[in-house]
Amino acid sequence: MGSDVVDMKLSEMNKETLEQFLADCKAQYLDFQAENLKLDMSRGKPSPKQLDLSLDMIDCLKRDDYKAANGLDCRNYGVLDGLPEAKEFFSNMLGVDPSNVMVFGNSSLNIMYWAMSVAMTNGVLGGEPWSKLPKVKFLCPVPGYDRHFAVSEYFGMEMVNIPMNEDGPDMDMIEKLVAEDDSIKGVWCVPMYSNPGGVVYSDEVIKRFAALKPKAKDFRIFWDNAYCVHHLVDNPPVQANLMEEAKKVGNEDICYMFASTSKITFPGNGIAVMAASDKNLACLKKSLGFATIGYDKINQLRHLRFFDDNFENLIKHMKKHKDLIAPKFAIVENTLESELKELGIANWSNPQGGYFISFNQAGCAKRIVSLCKEAGVVLTGAGASFPYGKDPLDENIRLSPTFPTEEELQKAMNVFVCSAKIAAAEKLMG
C-alpha cells in the first residue's frame, strides 16, 4: 500500500511531494491492473453464504402442506392481497395492524412501480390520473436509490433533489415545497439505513413527514423500508413508525409503506409487502383486482413455515446475516480509514445497518469509478444515486460490500483507495 508515503493532507503537500505521491499511486495502480482482477461491488446483493442461511426455504414445505390456517387451498386461484397469516406475520415488520397489510409476490420494487403506475393511469383515491396532468414532480432525497428515481423518470416525472442531513431529508425544504406546489405528488424515502447514505431518519423527521400538509391531496410518501430489520450492530436504533405518527395527526392516508424479504431469504423468490391506511387499501385492492387474481400463496406459506410462523425467528435469522456481512463493512471502513483519512480528500458513512457505504470525494467520483473499472473493479456508476444520474458535485460513490468474499473485497478496496488517491492528486495538480 502507498500509505507509507505520507500522513499529511494532500492539499498541504508541495508540488514535488504531490508528484511523487501520484507517481507512487500510479505504479501501484499498474500492479493492480497486471493482476487482471474481476471484482464486482456494484449492487447490493447478498453473498452465496448469506443465501445458504435460507437453504431450508427450498424444501421446508412438505407435499401435504398447502392449506392456509383457514383451510384455503393455496395451490388454487384466489386471495388477492395475501394470506391472513402472512399479513399477520409481516405486520410485525411494518409495525402496523395486519388489516393494513397487503402481501404480494417477488420484489417490492415491482409493487412500488405498480402503485405509481396506478396513480398514473387511475389516480390516487379518486383523484385525477397523474398522466392527465401537465406536470408531475417527485421529491428525491439525495443521494438515494437509483431504481426509485428510475421509476419516476420512466413515468416522465420531474424529479426535485432534496439534500439529506444526518437525521434525514431537509424537512424545511420539503414542507415549504409541498405546501406551495400541487404538482408535487410524492417523495421517495428509505427511512432506515438509507440507500446509499445509511441515514436513520430521526423521530423528529418522521413526525414531520407524518404531519405534512401538501397542497396536492393525492401526495404520497413512498416509504421504502427495505432495511428495517437489516442491522449491523447489536443494539440497533429504534425508530418511530410513520403510519402510527400519521394516525395520531389524522393524516394516515399520506403514506404507502413497503418492505420485502428480498435480503432476508432469497432475492430471487421473495415476498413483497405494503401497508397503507384503510381508505388507501380499499382503493388499491380494487385496482389490484384488475391486475391479477392473486400472488404466489404457496411461497407465502413457504416463508411462514421457514420462520415457523414466528417473527422472532426472522429477527434471529437477520443476526446470522449480520455476522456474515458486518466484517465486510469493517473491511471497507478500515481500509478507507487507514488509507484515506489523513489525506483529507474524502468522507464516508459508517452505517449501523443496510447494504451500503456512501463515499464522497468532490469532483472525483467519475474518475474513481473509471479508474476502478480499468483495473477490473466494477462499482455502481458515478451519479447513479442522483436523479437523471447527475451528481451535481460529482462526488458520490455507493459501495456495496456484501457480495464479494472478504478476500475479494479487500482487494477491491485496495484498488478503490488507490484510485481515489490518484483522482485526488490529479485534481489538485489541475
**CB-based contact 216:185 (threshold 8 Å):** yes
Q: Which is nearer to its own copies, 29 or 307 (CB)?
A: 307
Long-range CB contacts (within 8 A, 24+) of 237-240: 237/192, 237/200, 237/352, 239/191, 239/192, 239/200, 239/201, 239/203, 239/206, 240/203, 240/206, 240/207
> Identity (one letter) of the amino acid at 21?
F
- Using the rule CB under 8 A, which residue among 194, 195, 262, 358 binds its own copies? 262
Residue 334 · residue 59 · CB < 8 Å: no
Grid cell digits, residue 260: 420485502
Q: Is 113 in the site for its own copies (CB under 8 A)?
A: yes
CA distances (Å), origin 31, targets 36, 246, 337, 416: 10, 56, 22, 13
Residue 87 binds its own copies, judged by CB under 8 A: no
d(CA 317, CA 311): 10
Find the binder of its own copies among 150, 315, 326, 362 (CB under 8 A).
150
Does position 267 interact with its own copies (CB under 8 A)? The reply is: yes
Would you say 261 or 419 has its CB closer to its own copies? 261
The span from the CA of 140 to the CA of 19, in Å, is 40
Strands annotated E in 240-284: 255-260, 272-275
Among 126, 134, 234, 290, binds its own copies (CB under 8 A): 290
Among 30, 58, 249, 429, binds its own copies (CB under 8 A): 58
Site for its own copies contains 127 (CB under 8 A): no
CA distance 39 to 53: 23
Q: Nearest approach, Cβ of 60 to its own copies (angstroms)?
A: 9
How many chain residues touch its own copies (CB under 8 A)? 56
Backbone φ and ψ of 414, nearest 5°: -60, -45
Sites for its own copies among residues 21-50 (CB under 8 A):
43, 45-46, 48
Range 292-331, binding its own copies (CB under 8 A): 292-299
Stretch that binds its own copies, among 168-176, 263-271, 342-350, 416-424 (CB under 8 A): 263-271
Span of 76-84, 181-189, 223-231, 390-398 interacting with its own copies by CB under 8 A: 76-84
Q: Is 287 in the site for its own copies (CB under 8 A)?
A: yes
Q: Which of 154, 172, 249, 341 binds its own copies (CB under 8 A)?
A: 154
Nine cell digits for residue 360: 464522497
Euclidean distance between CA atoms 35 and 24, whole angstroms: 17
| Interacting residues with its own copies (CB under 8 A) | 43, 45-46, 48, 51, 54-56, 58-59, 61-63, 65-66, 73-78, 105-107, 109-110, 113-114, 117, 120-122, 129, 131-132, 147, 150-151, 154-155, 262, 266-269, 287, 290-299
